[in-house]
Amino acid sequence: MAALPAAPHPVVPHVVHEARAQHVRHRFGLTAAEQLTCGFHVHVAVHSRQEAVAVLDRIRVWLPVLLGLSANSPFWNGVDTGYASYRYQAWSRWPTAGPTEVFGTSAAYDEHRRDLLASGVPLDAGMLYFDARLCEHQPTVEVRVADVCLQAEHAAVLAVLVRALVETAARAWKAGDPAPDVRVGLLRAWMWQASHDGADSQLISPTTGTPAPAADVVAELLEAVRPVLVEYQEEDAVEAVITEILREGTGALHQRAAYRRGQDLHEVVQQAIETTHHAVKTAPAAPPRPRA
């Protein structure tokens, strides 16, 4: 087992012999045939459908930062793609993938969902592959934007950040603060930037809409969710791991460094296996809390 969002080597994926999977394969052709990717999905419980939609509207501008921090898929089909997260590029070929507009109400979300299903393009609601969505079978917001992380500590901290973002957004909605009015076309550009550079160069600042050093944009995110992190006694642990990512690089940077050492993708896979199974660094554990 290796924590890789995409196989560095050329591979031939196999579709399972299950009716829905075969239907997807025939309907979507090469997009489905090549879709051997592993994303990192985080579910956070919410009190109501209206709260869930309010959360989606308010966290969307921060999702590129989460993608940048998790970027761990520079290789695809045996070549360096030039992207930090090529998984996101491959996944974006699905017709329903990517960011969404501000919905405003749960009724507007439901209408958008209904219209997409009525188009017949997605086979079912499970194929509404938004970067963040309402889960169909649990009372949660499902954030689906991140790569599988190379290190377990990074995955744990991303999950904490997602939960803190959801809690911060829910509180902002209850306080009457409006959702940031950023058009979906701009968000696609922000996501592309995060997919290309990860957190090793520049990200787009949600406060200015312009490129800035990744460390500065990540600092903006941490400042936005700091009250929740402090309340949950997680601020120090989160900042320690985020500092490590920014100092030592994302998984994508480590994969490329492994390749440079031997000019061999086997080196990349071997390092990923070793890192995946390496003992997780011990850190003070915060007491469990119900619901973010």
**Ordered strands of the 140-147 beta sheet:** 39-45, 140-147, 132-134
> Which residues of the chain are modeled with pLDDT < 50?
282-288, 290-292
135/233 Cα distance (integer angstroms): 28
Q: What is the pLDDT of residue 287?
A: 46
Q: What is the pLDDT of residue 286?
A: 47
Helix extents (H) in the chain: 19-33, 49-59, 63-70, 86-91, 106-119, 152-174, 184-197, 214-231, 235-248, 251-262, 265-277
21/124 Cα distance (integer angstroms): 12
| Domain residue limits at 259 | 19-277
CA distances for 209 relative to 61, 193, 205, angstroms: 10, 12, 5
Q: What is the pLDDT of residue 13?
A: 87
Residue 111 lies in a domain: yes
Residue 138 lies in a domain: yes
268/242 Cα distance (integer angstroms): 23
Residue 7 lies in a domain: no
Kindly tell me the sign of the dihedral angle through the C-alpha atoms of 141, 146, 147, 152. negative
Strand pairing partners for 42? Answer: 143
Q: What is the pLDDT of residue 177?
A: 97
CATH number of the domain enclosing 221:
3.30.590.20
Residue 287 lies in a domain: no
Residue 67 lies in a domain: yes
Task: Confirm if 90 and 6 have CB atoms less than 8 A apart.
Answer: yes
Residue 285 lies in a domain: no
pTM of the model: 0.93
Strand pairing partners for 66? Answer: none
Q: Which two tokens stand for residue 76?
A: 């695809």
Strand pairing partners for 37? Answer: 6
Q: How many domains does the chain have?
A: 1
Q: What is the pLDDT of residue 278?
A: 81
Residue 145 lies in a domain: yes
